[in-house]
Chains A and B, each alone.
Chain A
Amino acid sequence: MRRLAVYVLLAAALTACKFNSDKPALPIMGNREAVTKTVNGKQVIDTVYQTIPDFKFVNQYGDTITQKSLKGDIYVADFFFTTCPSICPVMHRNMLNVYKEFKNVPDFKIISHTIDPKHDSVAVMKKYADKLGISGNSWWLLQGNKEDTYNLGQKNYLVAVKQDDGTPGGYVHQGWFVLVDKKSRIRGYYDGTDEKQVAKMIADIKILRAEVNTEIAQ
């Protein structure tokens, strides 16, 4: 009997421990590799996560935007074009909810890359922003070299973007919103056409903002 009580207590204690360490955390996504490095004369194995490399685009105000402009920020990236007849309106209707939630937060941004830079000039993007009802610097519409944009989408954000004259509007793209943390690591993918997933993303951004800059085990 006494023994049983001890077991029960032990089990309870263990559960309590588990509860304590069970803070909500987001996974780190993308490719990774293990590297061996020397710290204080000892060999240790460290994980190197995939990060978004530097880029250079222009926003709707004509300002040059590089990764430095996003330093210390959590951000959401997506791909669109202003004349898109299919999924963009619903994506940006949902993104507007994200914008409204975080527009006064200093460490959060939204960047929307156009995949049709030939048509979507800075002036066109500004007009789109005005019509959408966004202002300030918390949501940038980025325009730049087409190859750079496509490469960034396919190789770094790992979402599909390509030109295809056979589809409505002439471009194939998926409606992913990609969540990136302060260390340029991908932390989540959300279907931008699905209101529920976008609501989940808003909740996840809050988790990410609360995350202290420590290493997160998966």
Chain B
Amino acid sequence: MKFKVIVFTAIMLCVIIVSCQSDAEQEFKRYYTGGAVIYKDKCQNCHGNNGEGLSAMIPPLTDTAYLKKKRTVLSCLVKYGIKETIVTINGKAYEGTMPANVDMPPIEIAKVLTYIGNSFGNKMGTIAVEEVNSNLEKCN
């Protein structure tokens, strides 16, 4: 009897873990596919099909270490753009302006960041809307 309870609990636990995982997985997919559409509309012109950027003019989105380090400010960069700042990507300095997207709702910022953060060699997992909201409060 005791054994049965243990087995049952173990099975239930497994089921819960698997279903939770697939929830997370589904959420990721929702963010990622939505983000791909936004990327095409808002980012691809400059940053390219494969996040390759454009010569020395527009930085690529392939610097995995940079994106990881700047994870908490990425939302601010998407929303407010970049002005006359030099950013160093893949060891190369880029100077210029990135247009702002002040009207982009946090959920879209989250989706597009999830897309970029998991494309072009990046593996950052889901960047959820809650994370974006809390990061946006800290923009300067």
Binding site for B on A (CB under 8 A): 83, 85-87, 89-90, 92-93, 96, 128, 130-133, 168, 193
Closest-CB distance, B130 to chain A (whole angstroms): 30
Binds A, one of B18-26, B31-39, B50-58, B62-70: B50-58
Whether B45 lies near A133 (C-beta < 8 A) is no
B94 nearest in chain A by CB position: A131
Are A133 and B58 in contact, with the CB atoms below 8 A? Answer: no
From the candidates A85, A93, A131, A168, name the one contacting B56 in the complex (CB within 8 A): A131
Residue B124, interface by CB 8 Å: no
Please give the residue numbers on chain B whose beta carbons come within 8 Å of chain A beta carbons, in ascending order: 44-46, 48, 54-58, 97, 99
Q: Given A83-B97, A85-B99, does the pair A132, B45 have CB atoms closer than 8 Å?
A: no
Residue from A89, A131, A193 in contact with B46 in the complex, judged by beta carbons closer than 8 Å = A89
Is the Cβ of A130 less than 8 Å from the Cβ of B46?
A: no
Chain A at the B interface: mostly helix, strand, loop or mixed?
A: helix
| Cβ-defined contact, B55 with A132, below 8 A | yes
Q: How far is the CA of A93 from the CA of B57 in the complex (A)?
A: 11
Query: Once the chains are docked, how many angstroms separate the CA of A131 from the CA of B54?
Result: 9
Residue in chain A with minimal CB distance to B96: A131
Chain A residues with CB under 8 A of B56: 130-133
Asked whether A132 and B97 contact (CB < 8 A) given A89-B45, A93-B48, the answer is no
Contacts of B97 in A (CB 8 A): 83
Identify 13 new A-B residue pairs, CB closer than 8 A, beyond the known A89-B57, A131-B56.
A83-B97, A85-B46, A85-B99, A90-B44, A90-B46, A92-B54, A96-B55, A130-B56, A131-B55, A131-B57, A132-B54, A132-B55, A132-B57
Asked if B45 contacts A87 (CB within 8 A), the reply is yes
Q: Tell me which residues across on chain A come within 8 A of B58, comparing CB atoms.
A: 89
User: Assuming A86-B45, A89-B45, A90-B45, is B99 touching A168 (CB within 8 A)?
Assistant: yes
Which chain B residues lie closer than 8 Å to A89 at the CB level?
Answer: 45-46, 54, 57-58
A155 to B14, CA, bound (A): 72
Closest to A86 in B: B45
> In whole angstroms, what is the CA distance A85 to B46 when docked?
8
Contacts of A128 in B (CB 8 A): 57
CA distance A92 to B46 in the complex (A): 10
**Distance in angstroms between the alpha carbons of A130 and B46 in the assembled complex:** 17
- Can you show 14 pairs from A to B with CB atoms below 8 A apart? A85-B46, A86-B45, A89-B46, A89-B54, A89-B58, A90-B44, A90-B45, A93-B54, A130-B56, A131-B57, A132-B54, A132-B57, A133-B55, A193-B45
